[in-house]
Structure 1
Amino acid sequence: MKKIILITLITLLFNVVSNAQSFVKHNVQAGESIEDISKLYLVTPFDIYALNPDAKRGISQGTTLVIPITKIDKNGPVGDVKELIGFKTIKVGRKETLYNISKEYDIPIDDIKKHNSFLYSETLKKGDKLKLPRYKTIVSEVTLTNTLKTYTVQPKEGKWRVAYKFGLTIPQLEALNPTMSEVLQPGDQLIVPNISNVEETQVDDRYNYYTVLKSEGFMALNRKFGVTQQELEALNPGLAESGLKLGMILKIPSNSKLDYTVEDVANTNLSKSIKNYGTKKLALMLPFRLNRIDIDSVAEAKSAIKNDGYLSLSLDFHSGVLLALDSAKQLGISSHLKVYDTRNQISEVSKILNSDDFSDYDAVIGPLMAPNFERVASQLKSNHTPVVSPFTIPEHLYDNVFQTIPTEEMLEKAIVNYVKSDSVRKNIIIIADEKHRSKSNRLKAEFPGAKQLFSKKDKDGKDLYYLVLDDLKRAFRPGQNLVFIETKNSGFISNATSMLNGLNGQKVSEDQIQVYDIVLFTTNKSSAFDDEANVSNIHLSNLKFHYPSPNKSFDASIPNSFVSKYKSIYNVEPSKYATRGFDLTMDILLRLASNDDLYKASSSDIETEYVENKFRYAKKLFGGFYNEAVYVVKYDDLTIVEAKL
């Protein structure tokens, strides 16, 4: 269960602001510069660079830019106006190109083609004669102003307050600021629409605010809050004209009931929604690197499987994929799978892309490594073929990309929400090293009453990665204490967990019955927690260690058809990679069978769960899909199980 603390989207109420929330995409043409494009859309280069920071390093033909729709009247004269006054004829020299000529004479390529129409069907050759237009420039008195500006986050401002102030939805604010932290800090710099102070919408603390849910009407809101349609329209100018919309933020009376809770998205059994029985065409790209193995030598093959991490992972994942195809077949879903060995080389990936047409594939799974995945996703985005990343966070979330691993921000949000969902007041302590001070501060913002402890330093300010027991004891209270530890140093984890384990269950004083009840948390379980030479699993288990995870371990005590079938075929229990291959492929096939394509089958109200993984996709503004389904798991008697409230 999660409490709605309001506010993710808003509809703009004033025309001047509403223009600022719209964007268009522009595909760069040969010879175009940022200055050319800014004039085309009546924006400034600053506006384009603000939304496309990578463009500062240069743009090329085919680059996609996000452009804000200007607030300036497009019918008015803006900037320089060109008037054709004649032509100049030139003869094309050796190795000259349209691009070179365009730059030399400062004439757009489209203008050259317009007056030399043969170039639409023929390539430019040495000796060709070209008519180059000559222009007279008329300077307009009207000049452009930036439609975007930099804004400094104020104290107590979170994402929703900034978005509300500037007439944006939270996804739009995130699109303008792709590197923005999940929790804003005072002083953070954000890109926002360039509106005047009087145009900013201020939050009125005398009211509450609510985000409209999917298909929610006035009657549902009346039942939920006791507020009539007329009252809502009076409080929210423009609502009568626009009607209720998904994600719209409504101002509601302060005495309205605000403890309304929403269940997590219920798991969807897509096997009951099969309607598309066409054969599903899948491609699987894995780094088998079979070119390195003498397949005629059994001994060498066995050695490679044992010692080659890429090969072992690929074989396990592939075995899970094959079982998913077979399981889907039992449901009437037919499929065609083509497997490619990427050899974990960009050159091999390019060869694969050039040798096959992927435009009719329903989905491509992989490659596994980020650079190879980037190569595939960027090339296949032109024909909108879905590309699914099984294990890594893609470098770019193109609109054809499915990111199946939740980000660190999502993991952090999941564990914070888990702790917040228990309304019983707890004493919270945050332990961190200097490298994780910002994360400690974010947790402090979420839990204002929490105490922060940092590892000791030497006289030169170098982190020593340890705490003093007395400092730790002073932070504790009788009863339950929740402790976050944020570090990637196994020695620091060992130091802290050893002391916490010693305090856990200890009497507060000899003449009192009360004891310390300690539960350990982290926002991101790094490999440092798995360092068995330093970190005691017994201590972690005693402390009921909780952490967010993209997956959970299957319960061996509960019968599972996949696990049973896998053991019967391979005579071993499936690894996490085999299970991942099964879960991911099964999800793709069932989504494809439940709708026309993977895009339509991946709305945010569909959450699926299989053996160890679950999937609920959200779509990034001007981008692809990312999985936001996260487990919270815990150590329980030396086993890892899902933590449920």
Structure 2
Amino acid sequence: MGIKSNIYMKHILTILLIAFTIGLSAQNYVEHKVQPGETVEIIAKKYLVTPFDIYALNPDAKNNFKTHSVLIIPNSKIKNEPIVENSRELTGYKSHKVKRKETIYSITKQYGISEEELKKANRRLYSENLIKGDKLRIPQYRTIISKQTLSNTVKKYTVQPSEGKWRIAYKFGISVSELEDLNPNMNEVIQPGDTLNVPNIEDTDEKPIEASYGYYEVLPKETFYGLKGKLNLTQEQLEQLNPDLKTSGLKAGMVLKIPQSSETRIAATINSNINTTDLKRNLTNFKTKKIALMMPYQLHKIDVDSVEEAKDRIKNNKLLSIVLDFHVGVLMALDSAKQLGISTNLKVFDTRYHSAITSKLLAENDFSDYDAVIGPMQEESFDRVASALKGDRVPVIAAMNKPKQVYSNVFQTLPEDKLLRKTMLDFIKADSLKVQVVIISDRANKADSEALQKQFPGSKLILSRLDKKNKTKDAFFIYHSELQNVFKPGKTIVFLETDNDSFASSVISMLNGFNVDKTEIILTTLKKGKAFESKDIDNINLSNLKFHYASVHRDYDESKTNGFVKAYRKEYGVTPSKYVARGFDITLDLLMRLASAENLYEASGDTVETEYIENKFRYTTDFFGGYVNQAVYVVKFDDLKVVEAK
């Protein structure tokens, strides 16, 4: 209890420190006030976005959509230029007496009307012939010229065999990122028969897909010269394959058709090893760094005069505990940077985990001269800060979250899930010729597991059983007999793909029972979620199965001397949490990069990879020009410890 008390007291002191340094601050943003009778679908059409885009930025709207509430509306991903459309308005009628030899055709031509319009005004003409002397009503119209936009900007498209994301993006003239924005629930590996949202263009405007070619998405700031080194294709060759380049020029996000040999060359470039950069040798910029830390401390809910009440709030509020741990890591990083000659002016802002407060902070403070902003944690608040500071090119660090949109000034420190999956898949493939592969999956992950099976010819797929009474419901279990005679002497890689903790627990227990004698079972997964962290899963079983997975971070190496860990243990008597380590790693990396170049952008080329206590960072630019961390670990359970797998 004494150690915990020390930690809580330290957190209380941290809160008091923040309370003295806290400031208040916001920005103009595209907002929409819901009018009576409006639905999300109507609003989406008005702004040329999808309902999914609106729900992503306004999650409360799913269950609490009210008139006069304010929604955050993202920029449209669909080009929908206004078109000129003529309409005719009926103003009255004039009389016409039919002459000899006159016909319906000649009369309509004389007055500039259609046959249908004439018959509607004279209904007997539907059944009677025109006779000399008949008196007809001739409708009179006036022409109204107006500009209108297409009402249906998105249509449904069924994925065809051999089509992937890049091919579909190429077909409809959009980027992969835009395709993913239109389909937020799209599987990582799409399958033939999947239905996707795509731009509603004419069928004749769709580009044909050729199976003998590969497809490449142009990165921000890429030039023909840069593509020559990456693809081994000249500008003339690229224009020959992609005629649109001659008129549009090279643009970020466009998908190019390339030979398959060039696609192979890209893969080799991406997978090449990059040595860790020691930024201590490159420190040249020793100007004081101005950093803003925007976190949801929620100080308005804490009575700093009552130590016991503050203790209880820290103990029972998981978010506050995480934030304070991260804050302690930030302060320790500032101290470490100071020892290297890097001074920092840190200003702390309490966002209260509320977008309106974040807007107020932006409105009341000038962030244009800051070297970087760390946070906020809430997705909507982060988006507002990044968007507001984009014009001043102030870097905004997504430290604890993945932003909805990676603007050109955003540094996303958490790698994408698809990179984690690819890293794990490549790691296993390096040994796949020497081992057998078994895939065990629940029904929710069936499609992805079937796609995974195609990656390993000869592998076996075992799906969870369906409920006996409801054949459409997953029962989340497999029979022990289904694993008998599956594992042969030697090594077997078992992929377990599930989000269900009870299913994960039972399968892991069964696998451990088969891991005997000359049979070696290595457990892995492409998507490690909370199912593998259940209290029902024994870490001894995970160690016996040498459980491998791709991870954003690793546990620090206890066998090596670590000044950060030693200092934290001396202060608090316990090992630092992963949030303390993350606060330390992100902040020290930020300060070291700022001190090694003129600004953070210049210090974040894709050949610079840094590594600290538990995290490493290597940034590449994405479609919007922002920076996304590409450095991940493959770790494994070994003797009840999680260590890096080599």
- Structure-1-length-normalised TM-score: 0.69
Report the alpha carbon displacement of residue 392 of structure 1 after superposing the two structures with TM. 2.6
Q: Is the 8 A contact 2:334 2:344 kept in 1?
A: yes
Q: How far does residue 520 in structure 1 lie from its aligned partner after superposition?
A: 0.4
The answer (yes or no) to whether the contact 2:49–2:74 under 8 Å persists in 1 is: no
Hey, what's the Cα distance between the residues in 1 that align with 2:548 and 2:615?
A: 18
1:200 to 184, 199, 207: 207
Question: Is the deviation greater in 61-70 or in 185-194?
Answer: 61-70
Deviation at 1:544, TM superposition (A): 0.7
Measured at CA, do residues 141 and 401 of structure 1 come closer, stay the same or move farther in structure 2, by a change above 3 Å? closer
Tell me if the contact between 1:165 and 1:203 (Cα under 8 Å) persists in the aligned partners.
Answer: no
**Contact (CA 8 Å) 1:235, 1:251: kept in 2 or not?**
no
Deviations 1:44-86 (A, max 9, x none): 969934699539999999955336557x9x9xx843599xxxx
Amino acid in structure 2 at the alignment position of 1:250 = I
2:346 — aligned with what?
A: 337
1:191 aligns with 2:193: no
Question: What is the alpha-carbon distance in structure 1 between the residues aligned to residue 284 and residue 548 of structure 2?
Answer: 40
**Secondary structure of the corresponding residue to residue 388 of structure 1:** strand
Is 1:566 the equivalent of 2:573? Answer: no
Q: Secondary structure at 2:496's aligned position in 1?
A: strand
Q: Distance in 1 between matches of 2:392 and 2:227?
A: 43
Partner of 1:440: 449
Quote the Cα distance in structure 1 between the aligned partners of 2:30 and 2:379.
Answer: 25
Q: 1:374 to 1:586 in 2, by over 3 A?
A: same
Matched residue, 1:250: 258
Asked if the contact 2:528/2:549 (under 8 Å) is kept, the reply is yes
Residue 75 of structure 2 corresponds to residue 65 of structure 1: yes
Q: 1:158 aligns with which of 164, 172, 186?
A: 164
The answer to whether structure 1 residue 361 and structure 2 residue 367 are counterparts is no
Cα distance in 1 for partners of 2:592, 2:436 equals: 45
Cα 1:422/1:81, change in 2 over 3 Å? farther
From the superposition, tell whether residues 79 and 265 of structure 1 become closer, same or farther in structure 2 (CA, over 3 Å). farther
Instruction: Choose the corresponding residue for 2:318, options 299, 304, 309.
Output: 309
1: CA distance between counterparts of 2:544 and 2:159?
Answer: 41
Structure 2: which amino acid aligns with 1:251? P
Say if 1:46 and 1:146, in contact at 8 Å, map to a contact too: no
1:522 aligns with 2:525: yes
Matched residue, 1:111: none
1:482 has 2:493 as partner: yes
1:585 aligns with 2:595: no
Q: By how many angstroms is 1:253 displaced?
A: 6.8
Larger radius of gyration: 2
Does structure 2 retain, via aligned residues, the 8 Å contact 1:274–1:590? yes
The alignment status of 1:495 with 2:506, answered yes or no, reads: yes
Alignment match, 1:12: none
Across the aligned residues of Structure 1 and Structure 2, the Cα RMSD in angstroms comes to 4.7
Aligned residue type for 1:543: L
Equivalent residue runs for 1:342-353 within 5 Å: 342-344=351-353, 349=358, 352-353=361-362
What's the counterpart of residue 24 of structure 2? none
The structural deviation recorded for 1:470 is 1.6
Shift of 1:328: 2.0
Deviates more, 1:174-183 or 1:428-437: 174-183
Change (3 A) 1:308 1:252: closer
CA distance in 2, matches of 1:145, 1:341: 42
- The residue number in structure 2 matching 1:470 is 481
Q: 1:28 to 1:435 in 2, by over 3 A?
A: closer
Distance in structure 1 (CA, Å) of the matches to 2:227 and 2:383:
47
- Does structure 2 retain, via aligned residues, the 8 Å contact 1:276–1:593? yes
1:315 to partner: Cα distance = 2.9
- Which whole-Å CA distance do the structure 2 matches of 1:202 and 1:494 have between them? 44
Q: Secondary structure at the match of 1:48?
A: coil
Map residues 257-406 of structure 1 onto 2, 5 A cutoff. 260=268, 262-293=271-302, 295-296=304-305, 305-344=314-353, 349=358, 352-370=361-379, 373=382, 376-377=385-386, 380=389, 385-406=394-415
1:610 aligns with 2:612: yes
The residue identity in structure 2 corresponding to 1:66 is: S
CA contact (8 A) 2:496 2:523 kept: yes
What are structure 2's unaligned runs of at least 5 residues?
A: 1-28, 36-43, 56-60, 89-141
In the TM superposition, what are the counterparts of 1:166-245 in structure 2 within 5 Å? 166=172, 169-171=175-177, 173-174=179-180, 177=183, 179-188=185-194, 189-192=196-199, 194=201, 196=203, 200-205=207-212, 236=241
Structure 2 CA distance for aligned equivalents of residues 173 and 278 of structure 1:
43
Pair 241,355 (structure 1): closer, same or farther in 2 beyond 3 Å: closer
Residue type at the aligned position of 1:549: S
Specify whether residues 312 and 465 from structure 1 end up closer, same or farther in structure 2 by C-alpha distance, changes over 3 A only. Answer: same
The CA deviation at 1:585 is 0.7
Question: How many Å apart are 1:272 and its aligned residue?
Answer: 3.6
Aligned length: 539
Unaligned runs of 5+ in 1: 1-26, 34-43, 83-135, 507-514
Distance 1:29 1:491, change over 3 A: closer
Taking structure 1 as reference, are residues 48 and 254 closer, same or farther at Cα in structure 2, changes over 3 Å only? closer
State the Cα deviation string for residues 462-502 of structure 1 (Å, max 9, x = none): 43332212212244444322111122333322221122111
Instruction: State the distance in 2 between where 1:627 and 1:255 align.
Output: 22
Relative to structure 1, the CA distance from residue 591 to residue 181 in structure 2 (aligned partners, 3 Å threshold; closer, same or farther) is farther
Cα distance in 1, alignment partners of residues 295 and 268 from structure 2: 46
Q: Which amino acid aligns with 2:318?
A: G
Paired with 2:393 and 2:625, the residues of 1 have a C-alpha distance of 12
- Greater CA drift, 473-482 or 346-355: 346-355
CA distance in 2 between counterparts of 1:570 and 1:142 reads 66
Deviation of the 1:545 alpha carbon: 0.3
Instruction: Give the Å deviation of 1:628.
Output: 3.5
Residues 312 and 414 (structure 1 numbering): CA distance in 2 closer, same or farther, change over 3 Å? same
Distance 1:540 1:252 in 2: 40
SS in 1 for 2:277: coil
Q: Would you say 1:54 and 2:54 are equivalent positions? A: yes
The 3-state SS of whatever aligns with 1:563 is: helix
Give the structure 2 partner of residue 552 of structure 1.
554
Give distance in 1, aligned partners of 2:223 and 2:533. Answer: 45
Higher relative contact order (CA 8 A, sep 6+): 2
Q: Secondary structure at the match of 1:457?
A: coil
Structure 1 distance, partners of 2:392, 2:540, is: 52
Which is worse superposed, 257-266 or 319-328? 257-266
Give the deviation of 1:444 after TM superposition: 3.1
Residues 594-620 of structure 1: per-residue CA shift (max 9 Å, x gap): 444444544444432211112233444
Q: Secondary structure at the match of 1:586?
A: helix
Q: 1:46 to 1:157 in 2, by over 3 A?
A: farther
How does 1:77-88 map onto structure 2 within 5 Å?
Answer: 78-79=84-85
TM-score, normalization by structure 2 = 0.69
Change (3 A) 1:449 1:137: farther
Contact map agreement 1:163 1:173 (CA 8 A) in 2:
yes
Distance 2:244 2:315 in 1: 64
Moved more, 558-567 or 627-636: 558-567
Following superposition, the deviation at residue 182 of structure 1 comes to 2.2
Q: Spell out, residue by residue over 1:379-425, the C-alpha distance to the aligned partner (whole angstroms, 9 max, x if none).
A: 55565543333223335545544332234333323322322233525
Instruction: Pick closer, same or farther for the CA change 1:594–1:201 going to 2, 3 Å.
Output: farther
Once residues 502 and 234 of structure 2 are traced to their aligned partners in structure 1, the CA distance between those partners, rounded to angstroms, is: 60
**Cα distance change of structure 1 residues 255 and 334 upon mapping to structure 2, 3 Å threshold:** closer
